[in-house]
Amino acid sequence: MARGRLNSGSKSEAELPKAKINRQSIQNIRKLVSYIRPYRGKFIAGMLCLFLSSLVALAFPTFLGALVDTAQGKHSNKLLPATLQGIGALAFIVLFCQAFVSFFRILWFVQVAERSLADIRRDTYFKLITLPMNFFANRRVGELNSRISADLSQIQDTLTTTLAEIIRQFVLLVGGIVFLAIVSIKLTFALLLMLPVLIVVAVFFGRFIRKISREAQDKLAESNTIVEETLQGIANVKAFVKEAYEATRYDKILRDVVNIAVKGAKFRGIFASFIVFCFFGAVVAVIWYGSVLVSHGDLTIGALFKFTLYAVFVGAAMGSFPELYANLQKAVGASERVLEILDEHGEDVSINAEDNLIKQKIYGNLAFNNVVFAYPSRSELTVLKNISFTADAGQRVAIVGPSGSGKSTMAALILQFYHPQSGSIYFDGLDAEEYSLTDIRNQVAIVPQDVLLFGGTILENIAYGKLGADKDEIIAAAKKANADQFITSFPEGYDTVVGERGVKLSGGQRQRIAIARALLKNPAILILDEATSSLDSESERLVQEALEVLMKGRTSIIIAHRLSTIREADKIIVLEKGNIIETGNHQELIANEQGLYRYLSQLQFETAQS
Ligand SMILES: Nc1ncnc2c1ncn2[C@@H]1O[C@H](COP(=O)(O)OP(=O)(O)OP(=O)(O)O)[C@@H](O)[C@H]1O
């Protein structure tokens, strides 16, 4: 039966959906099986060991039966020694061989499974991170994560245990029945009439009980969600005085959990009684019938003993198949979901860093020419309609417009996260299609609104802009980004761990880290997605100063939310519902009394004043 997993990443494996096993699904998983190929030597050796150890296991009831008969002075098995000592010694030698073989079976199987699984995990992960942005738009991170953890753990389980168990149980079943028949055809016949009926009933009962316990687990998970939600939003709970409401909600769900669990316990009790009664009943019946045969001289006591042990083997093997088959179905389902990712078409980005070095330099001239774009996931909504503009090398171009007008979408198109349905984007007068994807992304940097820091040190986070940068370079970038001061104020300085498990940095501090990152990257084109939530004035001054340093000497596309920051821009593009409705510098645009820019400026000015 399935044992504990060696390296599983998920507890939700029990809920993994099953898939039908048919010719098509087997064809599908062939590709995954090919991951075993590099380790096939060990895999075959492991299989041989498994086969051997299963065969040897079949010998033990014979040894034990012979021991009982020999003790009574009968030499029933001519293939075995005639003395108790002889049989005992032989049994121990065989036992030793089996232990030896079992060790290598487990070692080799686990080695093959772990290595091939690491290969599949690596490939799946590489594929995932090189998939186009659109792929991520339709899926939740949790779901993708579970493919790498839960689905692959299920496949790993199948490779390490389920497959081995199926083979072993099959050998025990077939071998066991053969040996049973050799001992006594009559008894075997009696047993084979009873056993399958018992097993079918037990399996159905077992499934029913599992369903109930899953219900209880789901309810419990629901109750955990309440705990999680309320603890995460504890400030809200307190502010709205919702303690009593949450307590009632939690109490109700706990009551449901208890009710379901108690219902499950009743069925489990019935099941246990049934198993005890029927299983032991069957044992009693077989031994009773066997004893009758012994009393008539048709069977020796040793043979009856041997028979009972083989019967246990056969029963256990039969009983294990439904679960093993269910595991196999889950593994097929998991394989199909993993293959879905492996079969996706990735972007043209190599996973070798050397292949991604800049081959074609970009000097910073950017142009949109009649760009029309709709997100593939929402093709009916044209987000950008015939956008044309130019930004010459070194210019500052600001994009302004109401929320949802398409500003961030333009940034995504410059970064080649998506491609226009019609029209083109030019870099230095050359169509973006003429460049490799990595050449463009390597020479465009973005400082986003909300900066994500990776779990690691500040040093590592800045170095993300240029892998291989030395510490002096990183510190120089941090100094230019006005970040050095706050970093060195931490006791661990640049080695301070940030991210989910580390020190929490303020919005302004994170932005300055992102600026240092971008400085290190030294891009020809810079995209600034201005933070909407305003920083305090000191923090804003530090960020603004750092941005000035960063923008010097490169083309900057500024997605502006606060119009006060873009007065000096060379060009301001006003976007509304995906159309450019005004272009010019601040003076020109403000002069247009009917213009949206003037209206938005006034609005912000008034809001700031009030
Ligand atoms: N990944 C996406 N898939 C589908 N539609 C999207 C996606 N991202 C944005 N949109 C839609 O495209 C339109 C433009 O969005 P965009 O984020 O470019 O606007 P924005 O001007 O940057 O807004 P904001 O100032 O609020 O950031 C919106 O209608 C939005 O709903």
Domain extent listing, the chain: 20-183+323-347, 185-298, 352-443+525-535+555-610, 450-522
Mean of pLDDT values over 233-261:
91
For residue 41, pLDDT beyond 90: yes
> Ranked by mean pLDDT, which of 74-78, 183-187, 224-228, 474-478 comes out on top?
474-478
The full DSSP string for 62-78 is: HHHHHHHHHHTT----T
What pLDDT sits at residue 374? 93
Mean of pLDDT values over 456-480:
88
Who contacts 544 (Cβ-Cβ below 8 Å, separation ≥6)? Answer: 565
- Cα(403) to ligand 1 centroid in Å equals 8
C-alpha 456: how far from its chain's center?
21
CA distance 440 to 525: 9
Q: Which atom of ligand 1 is nearest to the CA of 133?
A: 1
Taking each continuous run of H as one helix and of E as one strand, the counts in the chain are 21, 12
Atom 31 of ligand 1 has which residue's CA nearest to it? 404
For a ligand 1 pocket test, name from 368, 380, 408 the mutation site with the most ligand atoms within 8 angstroms of its C-beta: 408
Mean of pLDDT values over 230-257:
91
For a ligand 1 pocket test, name from 375, 385, 575, 580 the mutation site with the most ligand atoms within 8 angstroms of its C-beta: 375
Q: Which residue has the higher pLDDT, 12 or 502?
A: 502
The full DSSP string for 491-542 is: TTGGG-EESTTSBPPPHHHHHHHHHHHHHHH--SEEEEE--SSPPPHHHHHH
Atom 13 of ligand 1 has which residue's CA nearest to it? 404
- Cα(402) to ligand 1 centroid in Å equals 11
- Cα(233) to ligand 1 centroid in Å equals 28
What residue ranges line ligand 1, CB within 6 angstroms? Answer: 137, 375, 377-378, 383, 401, 403-409
- Cα(375) to ligand 1 centroid in Å equals 9
Per DSSP, helices labelled H in 131-184 are 133-137, 141-146, 152-157, 163-183
What pLDDT sits at residue 384? 94
C-alpha 280: how far from its chain's center?
45
Domains 352-443+525-535+555-610 and 450-522 share a fold: yes
Q: Do the beta carbons of residue 524 and residue 362 sit within 8 Å? A: yes
C-alpha 75: how far from its chain's center?
60
ipTM field: 0.96
- Cα(288) to ligand 1 centroid in Å equals 78
Assign 350 to helix, strand or coil: coil
- Cα(406) to ligand 1 centroid in Å equals 6
Mean of pLDDT values over 452-468:
86
Share of the chain above pLDDT 70, in %: 94
Nearest to 437 by CA among 359, 501, 503: 359
pLDDT digits (tens, 9 = 90+) for 172-187: 989 988 988 887 787 7
Architecture of domain 450-522: 3-Layer(aba) Sandwich (3.40)
Mean of pLDDT values over 54-70:
86
What pLDDT sits at residue 389? 92
What pLDDT sits at residue 11? 40
Q: Which atom of ligand 1 is nearest to the CA of 401?
A: 21
- Cα(163) to ligand 1 centroid in Å equals 49
CA distance 408 to 450: 13
Q: What Cα–Cα distance (Å) separates residue 41 from each residue in 110, 341, 392, 542?
A: 13, 28, 61, 62
Atom 26 of ligand 1 has which residue's CA nearest to it? 403
For residue 369, pLDDT beyond 90: yes
Q: Which atom of ligand 1 is nearest to the CA of 406?
A: 18
Q: The tokens of 292 are what?
A: 């009758």
Atom 1 of ligand 1 has which residue's CA nearest to it? 137
Atom 25 of ligand 1 has which residue's CA nearest to it? 403
- Cα(405) to ligand 1 centroid in Å equals 7
CATH superfamily of the domain spanning 352-443+525-535+555-610: P-loop containing nucleotide triphosphate hydrolases (3.40.50.300)
Q: Which atom of ligand 1 is nearest to the CA of 561?
A: 25
- Cα(504) to ligand 1 centroid in Å equals 28
Other C-beta atoms lying within 10 Å of the C-beta of residue 200: 12
Q: Check: CATH 1.20.1560.10 for 20-183+323-347? A: yes
CA distance 304 to 307: 5
What pLDDT sits at residue 423? 93
